[in-house]
Amino acid sequence: MRSSTPNLFVLERTAEAPEVIDVHFRHLVCGVCGTRPVARVGSTAVRFFKQAQLVDVTRTAGGLLARHKLLERLTEHLITGWRAGVVRVEAIPSLCDRDLSYSELVIVGHTQCYAERVGLQVDSECSECGRRAYLVPQEGIPMPKECWDGSDIFMIDELPGLTIVTAAVRDLIKQYGHTGVRCTPLTDWRDPLGWMPEKRLAKPPSDVWPPLR
Ligand SMILES: [Zn+2]
């Protein structure tokens, strides 16, 4: 355990994602919510169809894809909180001679008791299955050090869709010029999709899972 919370950043993706061509979810059936996917099962398959999508870090259904050269650097620099996962990659013929060596960047770092410790506001709670949705903080993401598991890459379970990284990851991305992401300090982060306060009017991207509503 480190003695103080280091500088943390939201990893924001900057490129359009490849098309997800194969994905499977486990579903939960609730009398109130209906049938909804709760977890992805197995790996996905993606197809790149534009050169601009061929960046070092991008998205797949509910997760991140990263080029092998970046994953090797994470390993070399002893970056924690992730593992590599299998993904099937296809591309249109004109892109087939490009670097298509991607794996899924599966994030295993998590927060603990985040909603309780931060006092996150519950937006809705299902009376039947207990599913809760939380309001996203509008300006800055608070991160008490007792919530952080010490991983260099981690997620906040109650706020799906956000990937948090340490300065070590930020520095590595900067040093090697890795493409497809930018690192925004937690305190500077602003809800760029306008989920709050009028998130019912905003449509979250389909790759964010589970959805906020
Ligand atoms: Zn329910």
Q: What is the pLDDT of residue 27?
A: 87
User: Is 146 among the domain residues?
Assistant: yes
User: Is 195 among the domain residues?
Assistant: no
Q: What is the pLDDT of residue 8?
A: 95
User: Is 182 among the domain residues?
Assistant: yes
Tokens at 74, concatenated: 């994470």
Q: What is the pLDDT of residue 195?
A: 52
Q: Is 119 exposed, middle or buried (CB count within 10 Å of its CB: 0-12, 13-18, 19+)?
A: exposed
CA of 73 to the centre of ligand 1 (A): 42
CA of 122 to the centre of ligand 1 (A): 15
Is pLDDT at 127 greater than 70 in this prediction?
Answer: yes
Q: Is 3 exposed, middle or buried (CB count within 10 Å of its CB: 0-12, 13-18, 19+)?
A: exposed
Tell me the residues surrounding ligand 1 (ion) with CB < 5 Å: 30, 32-33, 126, 128-129, 131
Is pLDDT at 201 greater than 90 in this prediction?
Answer: no
User: Is 28 among the domain residues?
Assistant: yes
User: Is 32 among the domain residues?
Assistant: yes
Domain range enclosing 40? 8-188
User: Is 208 among the domain residues?
Assistant: no
Is pLDDT at 212 greater than 80 in this prediction?
Answer: no
User: Which phi-psi region, left, alpha or beta, contains residue 62 (left: φ > 0; alpha: ψ -120 to 50)?
Assistant: left
Domain count, the chain: 1
User: Is 193 among the domain residues?
Assistant: no
Instruction: Identify the residue whose tokens are 């997760």.
Output: 63
User: Is 211 among the domain residues?
Assistant: no
